[in-house]
Amino acid sequence: MAKEALPDLSTSPITSLNSHWSDCLTQDPESPKPKFVREVLEKCMRLSYHQRILDIVPPTFSTLCPANPTCIYKYGDESSNSLPGHSVALCLAVAFKSKATNDEIFSILKDVPNPNQDDDDDEGFSFNPLKIEVFVQTPLHLAAKSFSHSFSALAKFHEVFKTLAESDEGKLHVLRVMFEVWRNHPQMIAVLVDKMIRTQIVDCAAVANWIFSSELSRDFTRLFVWEILHSTIRKMSKHVLKIQKELEEAKEKLARQHKRRSDDDDRSSDRKDGALEEQIERLQEKVESAQSEQKNLFLVIFQRFIMILTEHLVRCETDGTSVLTPWYKNCIERLQQIFLQHHQIIQQYMVTLENLLFTAELDPHILAMFQQFCALQA
């Protein structure tokens, strides 16, 4: 049966939604048509503002309109007085407004109790989610006025962010809290994640783990999530290519020095060669480290894909329902997109992926995606 053609919103006014798109209001929210309308309206808001979208979209489509992109600060009203960390959040707010130093911020944060700390852990070095929550919530709230204000907050307190996000758990929790604050503003989430990667507050693997976490399960099929993931993969690739280029340039420089050298005994040239050879050795180590990070990123992504798809397949089999839900189709096509869009990089790690993840024991629905990709590379 031929697929229904979707009317072209690019040549139709948004006010004509009622005539062509009203049927999407009764469809599964994960179905292509309502999801397309929601994503288009969200993109339109990036070039406009929330109230304007509400004004031009028919009231019947209000359920598909984006949420008001306001900051959600959990310590901002009277009902939050009983929340753990509330008093520290107030102290931090005063300190930020008084232009406190990083040392002063650390001094305030040391009083935050650690719900994960054992009674016999006198050192207090274990992961402290409450400390991260109190700290990250407060500067993001105070800097909520604009992107540039938020960037300034990340820059000013970069040392604090880095220290709190030192562990893998810490990085993941920083992303979780940031998402809680800006869950209604996908564009802000995307630019903050980008900035946090660039400033090394979080790493690419942490972003991938966060995207597949339970906290994002409700938003997993939204476009901004995949924009972030693909941007993260591209950043990792650019990082690897940059170091590889530096290594090649150093090798070429050494080759030129050898070519220019005469047959006489030039000790100064030997010293220059020695320094350059040491530089090449360091760059080689950096390349290997970066490639290892890149491989780990793809292992995380594909492992998490396998986990969530397997859970879906098992659940459908247990409930006796069809596997081919809108969510499943969206997810499996996103997996295909990862393979196709980044095929040149993934091809380098095919053997590792086949040996560790895409084994014969894997469900045929999922394994077929990898086999199709392998067939394209043959």
Q: What is the 3-state secondary structure (H, E, C) of 64-117?
A: HCCCCCCCCCCCCCHHHCCCCCHHHHHHHHHHHHCCCCHHHHHHHHCCCCCCCC
The pair of three-digit structure tokens given for residue 261, joined into one six-digit string:
């050298």
The rounded distance, in Å, linking the Cα atoms of 229 and 76 is 31
* Sequence-separated (6 or more) residues with CB below 8 Å from residue 348: 291, 295
- Give CATH for domain 227-260+269-377: 1.25.40.180
pLDDT for position 364: 93
pLDDT for position 292: 96
Place of tokens 């650690």: 114
The rounded distance, in Å, linking the Cα atoms of 33 and 6 is 8
Does the 78-202 domain belong in CATH 3.40.50.1370? no
Do residues 114 and 131 touch, judged by C-beta distance below 8 A? yes
Place of tokens 């940059």: 242
Rg (CA), the chain: 26
Count of residues making up the chain: 378
The pair of three-digit structure tokens given for residue 62, joined into one six-digit string:
């209000």
The pair of three-digit structure tokens given for residue 153, joined into one six-digit string:
């907050």
The rounded distance, in Å, linking the Cα atoms of 112 and 258 is 60
Domains 78-202 and 227-260+269-377 share a fold: yes
pLDDT for position 14: 59
pLDDT for position 246: 94
Q: Domain ranges in the chain?
A: 14-64, 78-202, 227-260+269-377
pLDDT tens per residue across all 378 residues of the chain: 445 455 454 444 555 666 778 899 999 999 999 999 999 999 999 999 999 999 999 999 999 999 999 999 999 887 788 889 999 999 999 999 999 999 999 999 998 988 877 654 544 457 899 999 999 999 999 999 999 999 999 999 999 999 999 999 999 999 999 999 999 999 999 999 999 999 999 999 999 999 999 999 999 999 999 999 999 999 999 999 999 999 999 998 888 887 776 555 555 556 667 788 899 999 999 999 999 999 999 999 999 999 999 999 999 999 999 999 999 999 999 999 999 999 999 999 999 999 999 999 999 999 999 999 999 887
Tell me the C-alpha to C-alpha distance, in Å, between residue 80 and each of 44, 85, 89, 252, 253: 34, 10, 11, 62, 62
